[in-house]
Amino acid sequence: MKPTQQNHSVAEQLSLIRRIGYSIFPGMARQREKPRGYRHFFNTLILHFRPRAVPERTLRFTLTWGLGGMAVVLVFMLLGTGLLLKFAYEPFPGRAYDSILRLQNEVLFGQLIRNIHHWSANLLLVVVFLHFLRVFFTGAFHPPRQFNWIFGLGLFLTVLLSNFTGYLLPWDQLAYWAITICTGMLEYMPFVGAEVQHWIRSGREIGPATLSNFYAIHTAILPACIIILMAFHFWRVRKAGGLVMPRGPDEDAPSRGETVPTIPNLILREVVVALVLIAIIMAWSVFFNAPLEAKANPGLSPNPTKAPWYFMGFQEMLLHFHPLFALFVIPFLIMFALVSIPYIRYPERTAGVWFVSLKGRRMALVGAVAGTIATPIGILIDEYMIDFVAWVPGVPSAISNGVIPLAIILAGAWGFYSMTKRRYAATKEETVQMIFVFFVTAFVILTVTGIWFRGTAMKLAWP
Amino acid sequence: MKKEVKKQIKDQPESPRRKFLSKLWVALGVLALLELVGLVLTYLRPGKPRGVGDAGTIVEAGAIEKFPTNSVTAFVRGKFYLCRLEDGGFLAVSRKCTHLGCTVPWMAKEKKFACPCHGSAFDIHGEVTSPPAPRALDIYPVVVENNIVKVNTGRPIKRSEFRAEQVVYPT
């Protein structure tokens, strides 16, 4: 009884502000010889999310390039600016465009906020793609990180969908037609295409219901998904004992080595990356406005009408393959291959080594060069010389323009795979990596072609 | 004390009734989840189109004489083209490209519909003359009553290619 009485009397002597303060941070009320400042509380808060100490080797910037941290910063910037935009934006076809104009012209810093949202969203795609490459090339998908690779792919998809659903919202010509052709693609899905398209568009054509669907998905469902997936993604990093341990090509798997306190070693580095990134985005957004074209006009398709840049690779494939293959068979194969990467049986695990080994580096280069040479040649040949539909008359174009070219490409890739495997006497990891590099390069080149080398009526042209 | 209680509960043999009841709870939970998913899906589903009756979707294009043979007239509100062929027959062609849904303009000089998005081209019958479009442009039912051409824009007809019986002739 005695101590409580004492506390009671102490409490009575305190000012109201003090008592409120102690009620928020009970730890402060304890008498200490050296009073702790706000900093202590801040640090303990951080240590709820981060480990107390981290291996010194994983602090090296060239292990992660700060990409994961950048993605987090961008997500939070997008959430913040997105919340502000919600106050100004009206999700109705007749008013959406005007509300954007009003935001840009009349709201204090409205244009800047929209610019930041726009550029952060685009940069986020680039950053998560680079992060994906970094994780692959450092072998950070081996056990125990297998499933985190899947979480990462899920996050990549949600980020892609967020960009896509956000694209329609300004309701300008660019947005309207890009979404028209992207949702037009859904019709080619076997069996359920028309249903799914009807469902996503909320009607036969893009209209008010489509906009309100996209708005709800963009501003509520996807952000919630991203936050939940992010939490799992980080938790699995912690569970795996932190980042993958970097090592040289001929070093054995190292122990954790020396550890250093997270505060300030890791936190300081992260804050620096975050601040530099924020500064770059702010500066960029001051000088470059987010694009806004004329108000959407359903009667007039601009020439050329292009998908958003991150779908250019698929749009380019659409020009070469039957839609069923360009939009479903090939993306499905890509997704399947990516998901299976951590589950392939590798004779040895080389997590932490950049590009598997020295030989792996050479082979990755071979893959990149092969992709850089083969893809443009393939595009040119298909554009000017090959016409399977005319050559193989009497079969549906899904076969002549889908199965045949895909079979040729896969056969070529298989030949390339077995040839280099023999030539270099390579391990499975090295050859898988080479094929991965080959296809990533090919996809990047397809995207670049779609963005810069397609002019009016989608003919090949110089930029 | 608490630990002992927990242990006691654990040690009790699970009675069939308890097993059944806990399974029932799980089943109820799954059911509730399914209901929730269904509800969300119905929210995303398009609302019933208003004014399903033909009255709202029939466009009176005008008198037959207004359309010279071998001509194409655009109807912006109805989202279709009324094509009058050389032999005097009518064909109401949708302006939506069958490839990915862009709006195809009529090129009067070259006598074709040319899609600006991916370069598909269609002739005056809506027939594909240049891929990637996989099939001919949709058509709408046309009726000619008392010399007036009427088009029912509520019922697009999908077709793979142009056939002579799709053309409507004034009687």
Instruction: Using an 8 Å CB-CB cutoff, list residues of chain B that contact chain A.
Output: 44-47, 49, 76, 79, 95, 99-105, 114-119, 131-132, 134
- pLDDT at res. A288: 93
Whether residues A204 and A68 fall in one domain:
yes
Q: What is the nearest CA distance from A94 to chain B, expressed in angstroms?
A: 16
Q: What is the nearest CA distance from A209 to chain B, expressed in angstroms?
A: 7
Q: Would the CB atoms of A319 and B118 count as touching at under 8 Å?
A: yes
SS3 at position A251: coil
Q: Running DSSP on this structure, what letter comes out for residue A321?
A: S
Domain of A103 in residue numbering reads as: 57-302
* pLDDT for A401 beyond 70: yes
Q: Which of A383, A398, A386, A172 is nearest to B118 (CA)?
A: A383
- pLDDT at res. B27: 95
Tell me whether residue A218 is in a domain: yes
Q: Which H or E run includes A55?
A: strand A53-55
Mean pLDDT taken over chain A = 86
Q: Model confidence at A438, in pLDDT bands (50, 70, 90)? A: very high
Question: Average pLDDT of A376-385?
Answer: 85
Nearest CB neighbour to B100, from listed A185, A198, A205? A185
Q: Would the CB atoms of A209 and B46 count as touching at under 8 Å?
A: yes
- pLDDT at res. A10: 57
Q: Would the CB atoms of A213 and B44 count as touching at under 8 Å?
A: yes
The string of DSSP letters for A407-463 reads HHHHHHHHHHHHHHHHHHT--HHHHHHHHHHHHHHHHHHHHHHHHHSB-GGG-B---
Tokens of A59: 């602090």
From A302, A325, A351, the end of a domain falls on A302
State the angle between helix axes of A110-137 and A93-106 in degrees (0 to 180), rounded to the nearest 10. Answer: 100
* pLDDT for A11 beyond 80: no
Give, in degrees to the nearest 5, the angle at Cα A308 between A307 and A310: 115
* pLDDT for A427 beyond 90: no
* Least confident segment among A162-166, A240-244, B8-12, B123-127: B8-12
- pLDDT at res. B148: 82
Tokens of A312: 């250019």
d(CA A275, CA B60): 63
Whether ipTM tops 0.90, in short, is: no
From A277, A302, A327, the end of a domain falls on A302
Q: Which residues of B touch A301 (CB under 8 A)?
A: 102-105, 115-117
Whether residues A354 and A248 fall in one domain:
no
- pLDDT at res. A436: 93
* pLDDT for A48 beyond 90: no
- pLDDT at res. A403: 84
Give A442 or A204, the one with higher predicted confidence. A442
d(CA B169, CA B64): 10
Looking at residue A260, which CATH number applies to its domain?
1.20.810.10
* pLDDT for A44 beyond 80: yes
d(CA B113, CA B130): 10
- pLDDT at res. A1: 44
Whether residues A350 and A379 fall in one domain:
yes
* pLDDT for B51 beyond 50: no
d(CA A292, CA A314): 24
Q: Would the CB atoms of A301 and B117 count as touching at under 8 Å?
A: yes
Mean pLDDT taken over chain B = 79
Tell me whether residue A49 is in a domain: no
Best residue in A305, A324, A397 to probe B by mutation, most B CBs within 10 Å? A305
Q: Model confidence at A38, in pLDDT bands (50, 70, 90)? A: confident
* pLDDT for A424 beyond 80: yes
Give A396 or A221, the one with higher predicted confidence. A221
Whether residues A259 and A352 fall in one domain:
no
Q: What distance lies between CA A377 and its chain's CA centroid?
A: 29
Question: Average pLDDT of A362-375?
Answer: 91
The answer to whether the CB of B152 falls within 8 A of the CB of B141 is yes
Q: Would the CB atoms of A302 and B119 count as touching at under 8 Å?
A: no
User: pLDDT (tens digit, 9 = 90+) per residue, A66-113?
Assistant: 999 999 999 999 999 999 999 999 998 888 999 999 999 998 899 999
Rg (CA), chain A: 27
The string of DSSP letters for A101-138 reads HHHHHHSTTHHHHHHHHHHHHHHHHHHHHHHHHHHHHT
Amino acid present at A28: M
Whether residues A76 and A171 fall in one domain:
yes
* pLDDT for A255 beyond 80: no
Whether residues A264 and A399 fall in one domain:
no
Whether residues A89 and A17 fall in one domain:
no
Whether residues A128 and A254 fall in one domain:
yes
Do the bridges between strand A53-55 and strand A259-261 make them parallel or antiparallel, or are there none, so unpaired? antiparallel
Whether residues A179 and A328 fall in one domain:
no
Tell me whether residue A33 is in a domain: yes
User: pLDDT (tens digit, 9 = 90+) per residue, A129-164?
Assistant: 999 999 999 989 988 899 999 999 999 999 999 999
The answer to whether the CB of A311 falls within 8 A of the CB of A150 is no
Q: How many CB atoms lie within 10 A of CB A138?
A: 23
Give, in degrees to the nearest 5, the angle at Cα B34 between B38 and A182: 45
Q: Would the CB atoms of B116 and A301 count as touching at under 8 Å?
A: yes
* pLDDT for B17 beyond 50: yes
d(CA A105, CA A119): 19
- pLDDT at res. A199: 81
E strand residue ranges, A149-252: none
Whether residues A421 and A392 fall in one domain:
yes
Total residue length of chain A: 463
Q: C-alpha distances in angstroms, A186 versus B1, B10, B43, B66, B125?
A: 62, 53, 20, 39, 26
Question: Average pLDDT of A325-350?
Answer: 88
Tell me whether residue A246 is in a domain: yes
Nearest CB neighbour to A181, from listed B100, B119, B134? B100
Question: Average pLDDT of A33-57?
Answer: 81
d(CA A462, CA B16): 76
Q: Would the CB atoms of B47 and A302 count as touching at under 8 Å?
A: no
Position of tokens 């300004």? A170
Tokens of A368: 């990149």
Split into its structural domains, chain A has a count of: 3
* pLDDT for A215 beyond 80: yes
**Cα atoms found within 13 Å of the Cα of residue A369, Cβ hemisphere only:** 6
Nearest CB neighbour to B101, from listed A181, A199, A397? A181
SS3 at position B96: strand
Tell me whether residue A166 is in a domain: yes
Q: What is the nearest CA distance from B79 to chain A, expressed in angstroms?
A: 8
Question: Average pLDDT of A379-394?
Answer: 77
Q: Model confidence at B102, in pLDDT bands (50, 70, 90)? A: confident
Question: Average pLDDT of A265-294?
Answer: 93
- pLDDT at res. B76: 77
Q: Model confidence at B48, in pLDDT bands (50, 70, 90)? A: low
User: pLDDT (tens digit, 9 = 90+) per residue, B68-87?
Assistant: 877 888 887 778 888 888 88
Tell me whether residue A46 is in a domain: no
The answer to whether the CB of B122 falls within 8 A of the CB of B30 is no
Q: According to DSSP H, which parts of A217-357 are helical?
A: 222-239, 262-287, 312-318, 323-324, 330-340
Q: Would the CB atoms of B116 and A198 count as touching at under 8 Å?
A: no
* pLDDT for A262 beyond 70: yes
Tell me whether residue A285 is in a domain: yes
State the angle between helix axes of A330-340 and A146-168 in degrees (0 to 180), rounded to the nearest 10. Answer: 150
Q: Which residues of A touch B46 (CB under 8 A)?
A: 198-199, 201-203, 209
Q: What is the nearest CA distance from A95 to chain B, expressed in angstroms?
A: 20
User: pLDDT (tens digit, 9 = 90+) per residue, A150-206?
Assistant: 999 999 999 999 999 998 899 988 888 888 888 888 887 777 777 888 888 877 778
Question: Average pLDDT of A45-58?
Answer: 87
The answer to whether the CB of A151 falls within 8 A of the CB of A159 is no
Whether residues A461 and A381 fall in one domain:
yes
Tokens of A334: 């890509």
Q: Would the CB atoms of B132 and A323 count as touching at under 8 Å?
A: yes
Position of tokens 């799992």? A232
* pLDDT for A437 beyond 90: yes
Question: Average pLDDT of B137-143?
Answer: 86
Q: Which of A275, A312, A335, A310 is nearest to A124 (CA)?
A: A310
Tell me whether residue A44 is in a domain: no
Nearest CA in chain A to B80: A299
Whether residues A385 and A278 fall in one domain:
no
Tokens of A33: 């010889």
d(CA A416, CA A406): 15
From A302, A335, A366, the end of a domain falls on A302
